[in-house]
Chains A and B, each alone.
Chain A
């Protein structure tokens, strides 16, 4: 079975500050991990994903995430927040031989203060 826990349903940062959104997963098979962003009244957009290889993954809009197997984590970071980053962020996991079924976390709403 697989599961995802996102710590903090709401995160608020100042513009220009570091963004850190936490994601921990549980998986009985090697995980494939994703971060999606959802802007108000829009669908989900893929930020980045980890399947195999390099554990530090760079995505769109300056975001990156690091897969840490020992910590079962896949935290999302961005060095400097922009007002346009305000959105809901979802971490998701699937794995080898899981049929591609994504299991999502509850989401973290990011607010960016001017």
Chain B
């Protein structure tokens, strides 16, 4: 597609429920990133996928958070047993990756995000 697509755009869930957030990157972009933006906070790195390499999960805040990327394209971020502190905007970005500069060589395209509210 023309841009990075995220769905749903808004999600309200009850505390303790599981949620799945979807990211559809730009076709051909091999790198995919998930970030979290909490109210009044900057963007917090969560996880990074690059091709067939093992993902960099160093930013996941707890074992309730997981993500997968199927077929090198669509990614799903899953939050189990949601808590109120999980309320945030979850942003996805994709980029071409070439060389050791990573996505910096080509820039990153961000989706509009999923606003998650846990009540």
A interface residue numbers (CB < 8 A to B): 6, 32, 34, 36, 42-46, 49, 51, 90, 92, 94-107
Contacts and interface: CB of A to CB of B under 8 A. Distances in A.
B45 A100 contact: no
A96 B42 CA distance: 23
Contacts, number: 73
A95 B56 CA distance: 16
B91 interface: yes
Given A42-B112, A90-B43, A106-B42, A99 B104 contact: no
Interface string B30-45: 0101010000011111
A96 B111 contact: no
Contacts of B56: 99, 101
Name the residue in A49, A98, A99 with the highest tally of chain B Cβ atoms < 10 Å from its Cβ. A99
Contacts of A94: 102-104
Contacts of A45: 110
B95 interface: yes
B95 A43 contact: no
Contact of B42 (A46, A49, A104): A104
